[in-house]
């Protein structure tokens, strides 16, 4: 059996990314001629699954290093972009998918306006961000275990649904649906793994990536953690079982927020 690309090997054992992949499969299906923009592809992990949902995709990121790494998995249609301007014509896309990107940029309002500009009238946006609010205890714990915002590459903790709906409205979008995922136990286990990687396993990066440095970001970094990854694979079934405790918290909002929106007719975000 051929060895999996390192990114796909990594996602097989990521609790939160598996939930994101399930959401992608549930909410994204494109017709063959539809054009879609993948905004903030990082190392191409989730972009791989987006491209399997049909349509014609362009994947973008701020960091050339991320695009170079993504090319090994995605192949073509990779574009480096700036902030907040997107290097595409007005109305170029039928869909934009923005996974864990908005919280990484200083000018989030400008970014949303640009997304609206490059969408066709009635085009659809799927957006995932951290879910923020006063009752998300683990967000308060992260800095205590060395996980400052800069290690995630974040400019802010995240957004509440109401805050995001207001921002989308100002940019010319109408919210059509929302859901949350990654409840307490999944988020806690991810926090433990991130803290272990940042504080114990990883060498200090020479440069800061837009999406932070809480996991291996290149093939060389992943290869350098092979022993630790093998050990993690052995305990992964225990982590996976512990994350199922989230089913007991069906009443709780998750630590990640997904919203769906449509661009209102006659508003191009400018």
CATH of 6-263 given 3.30.230.10, 1.20.1260.10, 3.40.50.150, 3.30.70.20: 3.40.50.150
Model pLDDT, residue 1: 47
Helix 15-27 with 184-196: angle, nearest 10 deg: 130
DSSP-assigned states of every residue in the chain:
-PPPPHHHHHHTT-HHHHHHHHHHHHH----TT-EEEEE--TTSHHHHHHHTTSSEEEEEES-HHHHHHHHHHH-S-EEE--SS--SS-TT-EEEEEEES-GGG-S-HHHHHHHHHHHEEEEEEEEEEEEB--TT-HHHHHGGGGT--HHHHT-SSS-B-HHHHHHHHHHHTEEEEEEEEE--HHHHHHHHHHHHHIIIIIPPPPSS--TT-SSS--SHHHHHHTHHHHHHHHHHHHHHHHHHGGGGGGTTSPPSEEEEEEEEPTT----
Model pLDDT, residue 213: 81
Over residues 123-148, the pLDDT tens digits come to 999 999 999 988 899 999 999 998 88
* Average pLDDT value for residue range 249-266: 91
Q: What Cα–Cα distance (Å) separates residue 196 from each residue in 19, 162, 192, 202, 251? A: 21, 33, 6, 9, 30
Over residues 186-231, the pLDDT tens digits come to 999 999 999 999 888 886 654 567 778 888 888 988 999 999 999 9
Over residues 142-192, the pLDDT tens digits come to 999 988 888 888 999 999 999 999 999 999 999 999 999 999 999 999 999
Residue 270 binned pLDDT confidence (cut-offs 50, 70, 90): very low
What does pLDDT average to over the chain?
92
Whether the pTM exceeds 0.75: the reply is yes
């Amino acid at each position: 059996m051929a060895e999996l690309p390192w990114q796909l090997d990594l996602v097989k054992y990521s609790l939160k990314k598996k939930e994101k992949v399930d959401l992608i499969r549930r909410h994204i299906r494109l017709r063959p001629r539809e054009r879609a923009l993948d905004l903030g592809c990082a190392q191409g992990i989730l972009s791989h699954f987006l491209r399997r949902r049909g349509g014609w995709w362009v994947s973008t990121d701020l960091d050339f290093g991320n695009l170079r790494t993504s090319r090994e998995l995605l192949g073509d249609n990779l574009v480096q972009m700036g902030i907040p301007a997107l290097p595409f014509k007005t109305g170029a896309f039928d869909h934009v998918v923005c996974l864990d990107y908005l919280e990484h940029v200083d000018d989030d309002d400008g970014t949303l306006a640009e997304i609206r500009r490059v969408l066709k009238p009635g085009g659809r946006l799927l957006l995932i961000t951290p879910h923020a609010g006063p009752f998300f205890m683990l967000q308060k714990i992260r800095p205590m275990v060395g996980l400052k915002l800069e290690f995630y590459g974040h400019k802010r903790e995240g957004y509440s649904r109401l805050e995001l709906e207001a921002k989308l409205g100002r940019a010319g979008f109408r919210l059509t649906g929302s859901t949350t995922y990654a409840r307490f136990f999944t988020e806690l286990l991810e926090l433990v793994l991130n803290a272990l990687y940042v504080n114990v396993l990883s060498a200090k990066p020479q440069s800061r990536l837009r999406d932070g440095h809480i996991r291996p970001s290149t093939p060389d970094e992943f290869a350098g953690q092979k022993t630790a990854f093998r050990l993690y694979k052995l305990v992964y079934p225990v982590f996976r079982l512990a994350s199922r405790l989230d089913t007991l918290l069906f009443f709780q909002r998750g630590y990640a927020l997904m919203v769906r929106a449509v661009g209102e007719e006659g508003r191009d975000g400018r």
